[in-house]
Amino acid sequence: MSESMSPAFRRTGLGVALVLAAVLPPLTRDGYVLHVATVVGIYVLIAMGLNVLFGYAGQVSLGHGALVAVGAYTAAVLTVDHGWSFWAAVGPAMAVSAAVGGLMALPALRLSSWHLALITLAFAMVVGSLLTELRDLTGGFAGIIGVPLPEAGGRPLTEEQLYWLVLALVVVATWLVANVLRSRIGRALTGVRDAPDAVRTVGAAPVRLKIFAFCLSAALAGLGGALLATTRGMVTPDDFPIEFSLFFLLVVIIGGAGRTAGPFLGTLAFFVVPELLDDLAEWRLLIYAVALLVLIVYVPHGIAGAWEEHGPRIVARLTAGGRHRSEGAVAVPSVDAPAPRPTPMTSRPGSGLRLRTTDLRRSFGGVRALGGVDLSVEPGTIHALVGPNGSGKTTLLNAVTGLVPPERGRVLLSGTEVSRQAPERIARLGVARTFQTPLLLPRLSALENVLLGAYARERVSVVEHALALPRGWSESRLLREEAAGYLDFVGLTPYARTPAGILPHGNQRLLEIARALMARPRLLLMDEPAAGLSPAELAMLDGLLREIRAQDMTVLLVEHHIELVAAVADQVTVLDAGVTLVSAEPSIALHDARVLHAYLGS
Ligand code: ADP
Ligand code: MG
């Protein structure tokens, strides 16, 4: 029964529940309930922003409350001191918060999660003390009172209208954010923490993605701040204590980080439940602490994650008793239909880059990984790179793709010098690769991982995606069809929706190849694609390389599997201890006495 319920159906169930929860408060005609519901809506907006930052991009921020404060104070200063209307002040409040959020991103460009957490916490403390110190601007401890309500038709909104306004903003923001996260930006964001090298080698710059995530989440925090200011009619430093920042991080974690419903569920759980337990107010902190411990142990992916896992069974049990299978409700998106194989192997026009390295050198401490490698790979050929473990093969690929800049020497792509350029720039010239240990975005589906490969080819802007304009829509549809084609090409169609992180090793390798091909590369670098493959997968790889060979694409293949190399390679270069032993046709290179010596050590 449970398998008949698709994720789409589960999401719909959750959506319906949330809509019901949203229309309930005005029906109570109770001012207190309306006020609480309005604040909950505002908190959802703020948590939604933090979810982008923490849940998707993996950046821990313990300073988010400060960004809310910045938005609230900006709106208060503009309305109270300068007589602006709320509507006029909202944009600047978001902009100022976004700018401050961008500043907060700077340490994130260099620091690990835990250091970043401390820095953002310190940042929140600085902002907190500025709120009381900059008395002329902020009114010191007394804050700013008399923040006006938004007006419509010359009259301030009623409590109920304010609630509907917040609700409308929540709906619009959810839609915009979901659209952005469904685009290439969203895919790449999830790799910023989990697999930054993979993100870079598809042509995305983690630095820019981080700044984007900070600014977007800060803008939402600013919006939330402005709304809080107008809802309360005042701002004081006490409204934004340090716990405020912790609160939002907990909301995101408890709701389910990186899940659309997370901010909703987390805010409801965190805000409404204690509100209902009003008599237990003194125990609130203890209840939070215990709840957090229990949740982290038993519900590691938050409420949204638990629902994904157990929801179908619960619903099935509740609706059991002779119900038919809910097939009608299951809308299977065309994505997963076995795609017509859309000529998966079309490479770019003018393809097949020539790769040349000259005197490439790189050491790690005392270890010489590359001792002056000259390599020449002709366009449109498969060039194998073999050699014992530790001979520098992976380092060579890293040097070519920019991940490990060489200390000396040059890398030329059809005459263009790329030595020491950023990996994302090199990727954009048409270079794709796979890794010796597959680097996938573990939380994304196999299909999404393939889609990531097209990052550098996508032309539609983030704004067009956010607004779901037709251009973004049609580009996405074409790319999805193409990605489904590549997935089929490597035999992984049945796993289109499976998170890449739980695929068996061999499948992960093949998935990486599909992702690399999705870039329509002009130079494809593969690092031991056959390692750990089953015989069936090996046969698949063999066929795949033969098809690739029929294309005008240059391939540099690092491989231990000598039969495979002999079967598909046009040329073989043998590395040993960071230097070239031989470079020749397979029949010659693989039988060279020095090669046998290096391999067999005899
Ligand atoms: P291969 O891929 O041929 O097995 P590698 O290029 O991975 O060889 O490694 C070549 C040498 O460089 C090895 O001695 C390895 O230990 C060393 N090495 C590679 N990468 C690093 C690194 N990031 N830090 C330290 N040493 C490294
Ligand atoms: Mg290696």
Q: Is the CA virtual torsion 290, 293, 298, 304 positive or negative?
A: positive
- What confidence score (pLDDT) does residue 333 get? 35
Protein residue with least CA distance to atom 14, ligand 1:
390
Contact (Cβ atoms closer than 8 angstroms) between residue 583 and residue 395: no
Ligand nearest to the CA of 393: 1
Contact (Cβ atoms closer than 8 angstroms) between residue 224 and residue 70: no
Ligand nearest to the CA of 392: 1
Contact (Cβ atoms closer than 8 angstroms) between residue 58 and residue 194: yes
Ligand 2 centre distance from Cα of residue 263 (Å): 42
| Site of tokens 């402005």 | 226
Q: Confirm or reject: Cβ of 392 under 6 Å from ligand 1.
A: yes
Q: Confirm or reject: Cβ of 394 under 6 Å from ligand 1.
A: yes
- pLDDT one-digit tens code per residue, 266-323: 888 877 766 665 666 666 667 666 766 666 666 667 777 777 777 767 777 776 654 4
And the tokens for 29?
A: 């005609």
Q: What percent of the chain has pLDDT over 70?
A: 88
Ligand 2 centre distance from Cα of residue 544 (Å): 21
Ligand nearest to the CA of 574: 1
Question: 383: which strand partners?
Answer: 556, 571
- pLDDT one-digit tens code per residue, 64-119: 999 999 999 999 999 999 999 999 999 999 999 999 999 888 887 877 777 888 88
The strands making up 408-413's β-sheet, listed across from edge to edge, are 367-377, 355-364, 408-413, 416-417
Helix (H) or strand (E) segment spanning residue 173: helix 159-182
- pLDDT one-digit tens code per residue, 562-599: 889 999 999 999 999 999 988 989 888 888 877 777 77
269: Cβ contacts below 8 Å, ≥ 6 apart: 254, 255, 303
Ligand 1 centre distance from Cα of residue 393 (Å): 8
Protein residue with least CA distance to atom 12, ligand 1:
369
Protein residue with least CA distance to atom 16, ligand 1:
390
3-state percent breakdown (helix, strand, coil) of the chain, nearest 5? 60, 10, 25
Q: Confirm or reject: Cβ of 388 under 6 Å from ligand 1.
A: no
506: closest CA among 567, 440, 550?
A: 440
Q: Confirm or reject: Cβ of 387 under 6 Å from ligand 1.
A: yes
Protein residue with least CA distance to atom 15, ligand 1:
390
Ligand 1 centre distance from Cα of residue 395 (Å): 6
Task: Tell me which of 370, 394, 560, 581 to substitute to probe ligand 1's pocket, judged by most ligand atoms within 8 Å of the beta carbon.
Answer: 394
Closest ligand 1 atom to 397 CA: 6
Domains and their CATH numbers in the chain: 28-242 (no CATH), 355-441+519-600 (3.40.50.300)
Contact (Cβ atoms closer than 8 angstroms) between residue 343 and residue 489: no
Q: Confirm or reject: Cβ of 507 under 6 Å from ligand 1.
A: no
182: closest CA among 487, 462, 502?
A: 462
Ligand 2 centre distance from Cα of residue 595 (Å): 17
The residues of the chain scoring below 50 in pLDDT are 1-4, 322-343, 602
And the tokens for 314?
A: 């619960």
Q: Confirm or reject: Cβ of 364 under 6 Å from ligand 1.
A: yes
